């Protein structure tokens, strides 16, 4: 019996509520498969600022470092919205977490549920068979380059920097993933304008040689932003930079018709983090109406990362069953809806 240490960062807004449901799935699997999961809790985001004065306290970093996996709820509080001068913003916690644990690959699967297609802004026939995964670089690029001002603050700059090794490590992950899927990989860049994109292209072409079975293609980000809406079913694995990935993965998240169902994983060499794609959604906090499926499916991604494939499938099947039966939270616009905690309980009992 193997012990897995999971550090839980409930975070802000609806974070703690959806995480509570995700924990129920962890317990159900532990019980059913006789696994041993040890859960430990830590602060992050606005909640952490209030409790400790820092959006990413030392103790949280320590607890994350020793964990086999981190489960995050959501980060963000409107109270800090326009406080750009300050380092004390919830998002700083997220950016510090990614950097310090070197979570270099953010992975977002996009799949469509047949009985939710009416919620998608895209026409039904366009989103048929959509099933792709975005690999977004998460610890480099313009997010982490030097930034500042000169000439009395009248000129601002942000430096975008990428190294061969930063590109290579995520490219390898993405090609490996393609091998397990439909063997298609598309690099999204802006190589007709950016030098960093030209480096991305040459490194990816180099890595591609080791994966002759993978059909590799290239799209400029402007074209990709169009294609993703025009014919999203063409994609299998999308590989891209931090900034382009931020944009594309949010754009992609409208395809299934609901943010609430989307899980994500962020992978580093020694750490990995799982979190729903949706934000802290403060308007819904404390009302037991949030959709816990994104968090629950993030738990499935965590099990898969633990190489507990059976357990991952179990969780995914339970979610699929609810979706098929129309057992959903209010955000999915069903006539009879269930609360966040009811869904968590139901998934628990299905497993």
Q: Binders of a second copy among 199-238, rule CB under 8 A?
A: 199, 201, 221-223, 225-226, 229-230
Q: Is 283 in the site for a second copy (CB under 8 A)?
A: no
> With CB under 8 A as the contact rule, which of the stretches 29-37, 148-156, 170-178, 314-322 interacts with a second copy?
148-156
Rounded Cα distance, 200 and 9, in Å: 33
How many other CB atoms sit within 10 Å of the CB of residue 88?
Answer: 15
Smallest distance from a second copy to CB 90, Å: 10
Residue 64 near residue 56 (C-beta atoms within 8 A):
no
Q: Phi-psi bin for 39: left (phi > 0), alpha (psi -120 to 50), beta?
A: beta
Single out the residue of 81, 91, 206, 320 in contact with ligand IPM (rule: CB under 6 A): 91
Q: What is the DSSP letter of 233?
A: G
Q: Which x/- pattern, by CB under 6 A, does the window 46-85 give for ligand IPM? A: ----------------------------------------
How many other CB atoms sit within 10 Å of the CB of residue 296?
Answer: 30
Binding-site residue ranges:
98, 108, 136, 222, 246, 250
Query: Based on the number of CB atoms within 10 Å of its own CB, is 309 exposed (0-12), middle (13-18) or buried (19 or more)?
Result: exposed
Which CB atom, from 145 or from 326, has the smaller least distance to ligand IPM? Answer: 145
Q: Is 282 in the site for a second copy (CB under 8 A)?
A: no
Q: Is 126 in the site for a second copy (CB under 8 A)?
A: yes
Q: Is 195 in the site for ligand IPM (CB under 6 A)?
A: no
Return the one option of a second copy, ligand IPM, none that residue 286 interacts with (CB less than 5 to 8 A, by type): none
Query: Which one, of 207, 200, 203, 155, lies nearest residue 179 by Cα?
Result: 207
Smallest distance from ligand IPM to CB 324, Å: 30
Single out the residue of 36, 40, 158, 193 in contact with ligand IPM (rule: CB under 6 A): 193
The encoded tokens of residue 70 equal 């981190």
Q: Is 158 in the site for ligand IPM (CB under 6 A)?
A: no
> With CB under 6 A as the contact rule, which of the stretches 49-57, 91-99, 115-123, 173-181 interacts with ligand IPM?
91-99
- Tell me, yes or no, if 144 is annotated catalytic: no
Query: Among the options 144, 183, 246, 345, which is catalytic?
Result: 246
E strands present in 165-317: 184-189, 215-220, 237-240, 263-268, 272-276
Q: Is 94 in the site for ligand IPM (CB under 6 A)?
A: yes
Which CB atom, from 50 or from 222, has the smaller least distance to ligand IPM? Answer: 222
Smallest distance from ligand IPM to CB 249, Å: 7
Smallest distance from a second copy to CB 292, Å: 21
Q: Is 186 in the site for a second copy (CB under 8 A)?
A: no
- Tell me, yes or no, if 114 is annotated catalytic: no
Rounded Cα distance, 242 and 32, in Å: 38
Q: Is 251 in the site for ligand IPM (CB under 6 A)?
A: no
Angle at 11 between CA 280 and CA 31, to 5 degrees: 110
How many other CB atoms sit within 10 Å of the CB of residue 196?
Answer: 21
Which strand (E) or helix (H) includes residue 175? helix 164-179
Helix, coil or strand: residue 168: helix
Query: Among the options 40, 81, 158, 250, which is catalytic?
Result: 250
Rounded Cα distance, 109 and 153, in Å: 41
Rounded Cα distance, 105 and 171, in Å: 9
Tell me the angle at which helices 90-100 and 58-65 cross, rounded to the nearest 10 degrees: 40
Residue 268 near residue 101 (C-beta atoms within 8 A):
yes
Active site residues: 143, 190, 222, 246, 250
Residues near a second copy (CB under 8 A): 84, 89, 91, 95, 120-123, 126, 142-143, 145, 147-149, 151, 153-165, 190-196, 198-199, 201, 221-223, 225-226, 229-230, 243, 246-251, 253-254
């Amino acid at each position: 019996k193997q012990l897995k240490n999971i550090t839980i960062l409930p975070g802000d807004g609806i974070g703690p509520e959806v995480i509570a449901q995700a924990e129920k799935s962890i317990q159900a699997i532990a019980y059913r498969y006789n696994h041993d999961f040890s859960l430990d809790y830590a602060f992050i985001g606005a909640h952490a600022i209030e409790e400790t004065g820092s959006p990413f306290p030392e103790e949280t970093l320590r607890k994350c470092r020793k964990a086999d996996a981190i489960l995050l709820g959501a980060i963000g509080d409107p109270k800090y919205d326009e406080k750009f001068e300050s380092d004390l913003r919830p998002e700083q916690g997220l950016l510090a977490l990614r950097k310090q644990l070197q979570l270099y690959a953010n992975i977002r699967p996009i799949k469509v549920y047949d009985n939710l297609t009416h919620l998608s802004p895209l026409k039904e026939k366009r989103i048929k068979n959509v099933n792709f995964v975005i690999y977004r670089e998460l610890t480099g690029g313009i997010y982490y380059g030097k930034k500042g001002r000169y000439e009395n603050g009248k000129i601002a700059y942000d430096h975008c920097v990428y190294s061969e090794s930063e590109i290579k490590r995520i490219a390898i992950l993405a090609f490996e993933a393609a091998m397990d899927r439909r063997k298609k990989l598309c690099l999204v860049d802006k190589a007709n304008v950016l030098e960093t994109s030209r480096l991305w292209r040459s490194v990816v072409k180099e890595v591609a040689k080791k994966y002759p079975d993978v059909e590799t293609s290239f799209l400029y980000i402007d074209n990709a932003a169009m294609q993703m809406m025009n014919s999203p079913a063409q994609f299998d694995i999308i590989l891209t930079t931090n900034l382009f990935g931020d944009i594309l993965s949010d754009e992609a998240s409208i395809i299934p018709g609901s943010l609430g169902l989307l899980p994500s994983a962020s992978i580093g060499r020694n750490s990995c983090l799982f979190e729903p794609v949706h934000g802290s959604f403060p308007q819904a906090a404390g009302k037991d109406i949030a959709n816990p499926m994104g968090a629950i499916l993030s738990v499935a991604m965590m099990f898969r990362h633990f190489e507990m494939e059976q357990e991952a499938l179990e969780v995914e099947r339970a979610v699929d069953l609810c979706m098929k039966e129309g057992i959903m939270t209010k955000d999915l616009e069903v006539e009879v809806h269930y609360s966040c905690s009811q869904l968590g309980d139901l998934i628990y009992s299905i497993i």
